[in-house]
Protein backbone atom coordinates (compact mmCIF):
# COMPACT_ATOMS: atom_id res chain seq x y z
CA UNK A 1 0.00 0.00 0.00
CA UNK A 2 1.83 3.09 -1.22
CA UNK A 3 0.94 6.64 -0.28
CA UNK A 4 3.15 9.51 -1.34
CA UNK A 5 5.63 7.01 -2.81
CA UNK A 6 6.04 5.34 0.59
CA UNK A 7 4.80 1.81 1.15
CA UNK A 8 3.27 2.22 4.60
CA UNK A 9 2.86 -1.52 5.12
CA UNK A 10 6.61 -1.92 4.51
CA UNK A 11 7.31 0.95 6.88
CA UNK A 12 5.15 -0.55 9.65
CA UNK A 13 6.73 -3.97 9.04
CA UNK A 14 10.19 -2.42 9.36
CA UNK A 15 9.26 -0.70 12.63
CA UNK A 16 7.80 -3.89 14.12
CA UNK A 17 10.74 -6.05 13.00
CA UNK A 18 13.36 -3.62 14.28
CA UNK A 19 11.54 -3.12 17.59
CA UNK A 20 11.41 -6.88 18.14
CA UNK A 21 15.11 -7.04 17.28
CA UNK A 22 15.81 -4.26 19.80
CA UNK A 23 13.99 -6.10 22.57
CA UNK A 24 15.79 -9.35 21.83
CA UNK A 25 19.16 -7.59 21.52
CA UNK A 26 18.99 -5.81 24.85
CA UNK A 27 17.38 -8.74 26.68
CA UNK A 28 20.17 -11.03 25.50
CA UNK A 29 22.90 -8.47 26.27
CA UNK A 30 21.37 -7.00 29.44
CA UNK A 31 24.21 -7.89 31.77
CA UNK A 32 27.09 -6.64 29.57
CA UNK A 33 25.08 -3.50 28.76
CA UNK A 34 24.41 -2.77 32.45
CA UNK A 35 28.12 -3.23 33.14
CA UNK A 36 29.00 -0.93 30.22
CA UNK A 37 26.72 1.85 31.49
CA UNK A 38 27.70 1.30 35.12
CA UNK A 39 24.19 0.72 36.47
CA UNK A 40 22.58 -2.05 38.45
CA UNK A 41 19.36 -3.74 37.41
CA UNK A 42 17.59 -2.06 40.36
CA UNK A 43 18.83 1.40 39.30
CA UNK A 44 17.56 0.87 35.78
CA UNK A 45 14.18 -0.45 36.90
CA UNK A 46 13.73 2.50 39.26
CA UNK A 47 14.09 4.94 36.37
CA UNK A 48 11.94 3.08 33.85
CA UNK A 49 9.13 5.07 32.29
CA UNK A 50 6.63 4.25 29.54
CA UNK A 51 7.79 7.46 27.86
CA UNK A 52 11.05 5.74 26.89
CA UNK A 53 9.11 3.08 24.97
CA UNK A 54 6.98 5.67 23.19
CA UNK A 55 10.12 7.57 22.19
CA UNK A 56 11.73 4.32 21.01
CA UNK A 57 8.75 3.52 18.78
CA UNK A 58 8.73 7.08 17.42
CA UNK A 59 12.47 6.86 16.72
CA UNK A 60 12.16 3.53 14.94
CA UNK A 61 9.33 5.01 12.87
CA UNK A 62 11.38 8.06 11.88
CA UNK A 63 14.32 5.89 10.84
CA UNK A 64 12.06 3.61 8.77
CA UNK A 65 10.40 6.61 7.16
CA UNK A 66 13.71 8.20 6.14
CA UNK A 67 15.06 4.88 4.83
CA UNK A 68 11.86 4.47 2.80
CA UNK A 69 12.09 7.99 1.40
CA UNK A 70 15.72 7.53 0.40
CA UNK A 71 15.20 4.07 -1.05
CA UNK A 72 12.34 5.35 -3.22
CA UNK A 73 13.99 8.66 -4.15
CA UNK A 74 17.29 7.03 -5.09
CA UNK A 75 15.54 4.09 -6.75
CA UNK A 76 17.38 1.63 -4.53
CA UNK A 77 14.53 -0.63 -3.52
CA UNK A 78 16.47 -3.91 -3.51
CA UNK A 79 17.97 -5.45 -0.38
CA UNK A 80 21.47 -4.52 -1.60
CA UNK A 81 20.29 -1.00 -2.43
CA UNK A 82 18.64 -0.56 0.95
CA UNK A 83 21.72 -1.77 2.78
CA UNK A 84 23.93 0.51 0.68
CA UNK A 85 21.89 3.42 2.08
CA UNK A 86 21.32 2.15 5.63
CA UNK A 87 24.90 1.22 6.49
CA UNK A 88 26.50 4.57 5.57
CA UNK A 89 23.64 6.36 7.38
CA UNK A 90 24.39 4.28 10.48
CA UNK A 91 28.13 4.92 10.30
CA UNK A 92 28.01 8.64 9.55
CA UNK A 93 25.00 9.76 11.58
CA UNK A 94 24.65 7.24 14.39
CA UNK A 95 28.11 5.95 15.20
CA UNK A 96 29.88 9.27 14.81
CA UNK A 97 27.33 11.01 17.03
CA UNK A 98 27.38 8.26 19.65
CA UNK A 99 31.17 8.09 19.70
CA UNK A 100 31.40 11.85 20.26
CA UNK A 101 28.69 11.92 22.94
CA UNK A 102 30.00 8.86 24.76
CA UNK A 103 33.53 10.26 24.89
CA UNK A 104 32.35 13.55 26.42
CA UNK A 105 30.08 11.61 28.81
CA UNK A 106 33.11 9.49 29.72
CA UNK A 107 31.15 6.39 28.87
CA UNK A 108 32.95 3.14 28.15
CA UNK A 109 33.88 2.00 24.65
CA UNK A 110 31.93 -1.20 25.36
CA UNK A 111 28.81 0.97 25.80
CA UNK A 112 29.44 2.59 22.42
CA UNK A 113 30.05 -0.77 20.75
CA UNK A 114 26.97 -2.41 22.31
CA UNK A 115 24.65 0.46 21.44
CA UNK A 116 26.25 0.88 18.02
CA UNK A 117 25.72 -2.80 17.27
CA UNK A 118 22.08 -2.40 18.19
CA UNK A 119 21.57 0.51 15.82
CA UNK A 120 23.46 -1.28 13.05
CA UNK A 121 20.96 -4.13 13.41
CA UNK A 122 18.01 -1.72 13.40
CA UNK A 123 19.14 0.06 10.23
CA UNK A 124 19.97 -3.19 8.42
CA UNK A 125 16.74 -4.95 9.42
CA UNK A 126 14.62 -1.99 8.41
CA UNK A 127 16.31 -1.69 5.01
CA UNK A 128 15.84 -5.41 4.34
CA UNK A 129 12.19 -5.44 5.43
CA UNK A 130 11.37 -2.34 3.39
CA UNK A 131 13.05 -3.82 0.31
CA UNK A 132 11.29 -7.18 0.66
CA UNK A 133 7.80 -5.83 1.34
CA UNK A 134 7.87 -2.77 -0.92
CA UNK A 135 10.04 -4.34 -3.61
Distance CA 34, CA 26 (A): 10
H or E stretch at 20: helix 8-28
pLDDT beyond 50 at 131: yes
- The pLDDT tens digits for 45-66 are 887 889 999 999 999 999 999 9
User: CA torsion angle for 124, 126, 128, 132 (degrees, to 10)?
Assistant: 180
Can you tell me the mean pLDDT for 122-130?
98
pTM of the model: 0.93
Give me the count of residues in the chain.
135
Q: List 2's β-bridge partners, or say none.
A: 7
- The pLDDT tens digits for 32-44 are 999 999 988 888 8
pLDDT beyond 50 at 2: no
Top pLDDT among 59 and 5 is at 59
Rg value, the chain, Cα: 16
User: Domain segments of the chain: what residues?
Assistant: 2-134
Count of Cβ atoms closer than 10 Å to residue 9 Cβ: 12
Amino acid sequence: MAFGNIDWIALIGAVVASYIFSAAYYISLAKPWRTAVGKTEAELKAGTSPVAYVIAIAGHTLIAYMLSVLMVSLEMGSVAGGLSIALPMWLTFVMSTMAINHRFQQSSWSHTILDGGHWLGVFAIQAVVIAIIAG
